[in-house]
């Protein structure tokens, strides 16, 4: 009984509670409708919300407004100038040279600027036109280390009296080597030529710059000629037409020795006759730098050759007998022996020797047969 009563009481309570809950929801809906604003839409934002509006607000996050990005205006091309060339629609437009604006003015594209030239060296400043005619030339960068810097083309040497000594052909040398060669001609050779009653006019240049090994041997050490630091001198020509060959043995020995002492005092390497067979017809001069300032001077000044060398036998005199009938040297020796025996003193013979000699008959000497002349023998053979 108790359980049925409890069930009935529970149903009644649920019914009352349900009806009261529905009544509460209905009352809340009425109050909400009564609290809605009646102002226009544009004033709704300023209207204060009801205190219970948060109960029915949507809890989902609202998307934030995107930030507006301001874009710059796209520049439009300038109008075509009136002086621009006209091109037909079917033909491609001709390429115009690229231009660059400098200071607001168009200019054509500049070519690549050449590398800056180094300032002249102290040697180049000292080698003026009053000493030598030697214009500067660009640096040479050859294979295997050939070439050099601060190069000049030595065309002539100017003497103190303003006369010029031509270098034939012109020598390509480094500036220090060209300066040393000019000082040698000006201070040593010019006074030597004056002592001979003339002036020097030409320098016979046998070789200067050449990219090669020593003595032109393949694979040898690079020669100083390959560094433009050497010159080969063959002869000096005077104004009176005389030529002084430095290796000619007919030139007076004293003159060649004077030149030898002058070049060995100025250059670090001097090679001439006697050094090797590569320098028998010229003199090699260079300014090679060695350890402890070591210098080489190898030039043998040979004695002059005789004016007439006895290379051929003397001519046969006219009074000499013909070679065909001349006696042989063997016959002359036999005749001399026989004469010596006849002149000798008789020796005492032993007893009994005369009898033995008497018994032996003397053998008669065979007659000497003279050989006919070669001419007759040839005639007989021909016949």
CA end-to-end distance (rounded Å), the chain = 197
Mean pLDDT of 101-128: 74
DSSP per-residue string spanning 269-332:
EEE-TTT-GGGSSSEEEE----GGG--EEE---PPPPPSS---SPPPPPTTSPPTTTPPPHHHH
Rounded alpha-carbon distances, angstroms, from residue 250 to 239, 255, 271:
20, 11, 20
pLDDT of residue 343: 53
pTM: 0.53
User: For 114, which DSSP code?
Assistant: P
Mean pLDDT of 237-258: 93
Sole residue written with tokens 């009801």: 50
Give the whole-angstrom CA distance, residue 86 versus residue 72: 33
More confident residue, 110 or 216: 216
Give the whole-angstrom CA distance, residue 279 versus residue 273: 6
Rounded alpha-carbon distances, angstroms, from residue 73 to 68, 70, 76:
15, 9, 9
CB–CB of 146/140 below 8 Å? yes
On the question of pLDDT at 114 being above 50, the answer is yes
Give the whole-angstrom CA distance, residue 137 versus residue 152: 5
Q: Which H or E run includes 341? A: helix 329-343
Q: What are the backbone dihedrals phi and psi of residue 13, each rounded to the nearest 5 degrees, phi first?
A: -65, -40
Helix 175-184 and helix 253-266: axis angle, to 10°?
A: 150
CA atoms within a 13 Å half-sphere pointing along the CA-CB vector of 164 = 11
Q: Which H or E run includes 243? A: strand 243-245
On the question of pLDDT at 29 being above 50, the answer is yes
More confident residue, 103 or 27: 27
On the question of pLDDT at 102 being above 60, the answer is no
Question: Which span out of 37-46, 314-323, 358-367 was modeled with the highest average pLDDT?
Answer: 314-323
Three-class secondary structure of residue 117 per DSSP: coil
Q: Which class for 131: exposed (0-12), middle (13-18), buried (19 or more C-beta within 10 A)?
A: middle
More confident residue, 199 or 32: 199
Q: How confident is the model at residue 280 (pLDDT cuts 50, 70, 90)?
A: very high
Of 203, 208, 263, nearest in space to 237 by CA: 203
pLDDT of residue 315: 80
Which residues pair with residue 285 across a beta bridge? 231, 270
Q: Which H or E run includes 29? A: helix 2-35
pLDDT of residue 35: 59
């Amino acid at each position: 009984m108790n359980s049925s009563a409890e069930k009935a009481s529970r149903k009644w309570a649920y019914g009352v509670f349900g009806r009261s809950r529905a009544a509460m929801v209905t009352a809340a809906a009425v109050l909400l409708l009564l609290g809605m604003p009646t102002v226009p839409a544009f004033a709704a934002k300023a209207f204060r919300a009801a205190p219970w509006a948060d109960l029915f607000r949507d809890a989902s996050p609202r998307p934030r407004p995107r930030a507006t990005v301001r874009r710059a205006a796209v520049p439009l091309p300038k109008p075509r100038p009136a002086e621009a060339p006209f091109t037909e629609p079917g033909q491609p437009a001709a390429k115009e040279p690229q231009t660059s604006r400098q200071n607001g003015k168009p200019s054509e594209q500049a070519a690549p600027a050449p590398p800056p030239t180094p300032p002249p060296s102290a040697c180049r400043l000292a080698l003026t036109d009053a000493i030598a005619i030697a214009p500067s030339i660009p640096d040479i960068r050859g294979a295997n280390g050939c070439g050099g810097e601060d190069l000049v083309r030595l065309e002539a040497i100017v003497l103190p009296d303003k006369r010029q000594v031509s270098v034939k052909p012109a020598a390509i040398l480094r500036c220090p080597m060209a300066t040393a060669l000019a000082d040698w001609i000006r201070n040593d050779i010019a006074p030597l030529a004056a002592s001979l009653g003339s002036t020097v006019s030409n320098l016979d240049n046998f070789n200067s710059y050449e990219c090669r090994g020593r003595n032109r041997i393949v694979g040898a050490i690079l020669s100083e000629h390959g560094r433009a630091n050497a010159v080969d001198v063959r002869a000096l020509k005077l104004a009176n037409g005389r030529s002084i060959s430095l290796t000619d043995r007919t030139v007076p020995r004293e003159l060649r020795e004077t030149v030898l002492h002058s070049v060995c005092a100025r250059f670090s390497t001097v090679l001439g006759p006697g050094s090797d067979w590569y320098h028998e017809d010229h003199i090699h001069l260079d300014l090679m730098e060695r350890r402890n300032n070591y210098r080489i001077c190898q030039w043998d000044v040979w004695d002059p050759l005789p004016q007439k060398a006895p290379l051929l036998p003397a001519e046969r005199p006219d009074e000499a007998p013909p070679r065909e009938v001349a006696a042989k040297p063997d016959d002359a020796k036999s005749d001399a022996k026989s004469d010596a025996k006849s002149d000798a003193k008789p020796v005492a013979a032993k007893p009994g020797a005369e009898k033995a000699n008497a018994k032996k008959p003397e053998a008669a000497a065979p007659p000497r047969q003279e050989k006919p002349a070669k001419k007759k023998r040839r005639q007989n053979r021909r016949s």
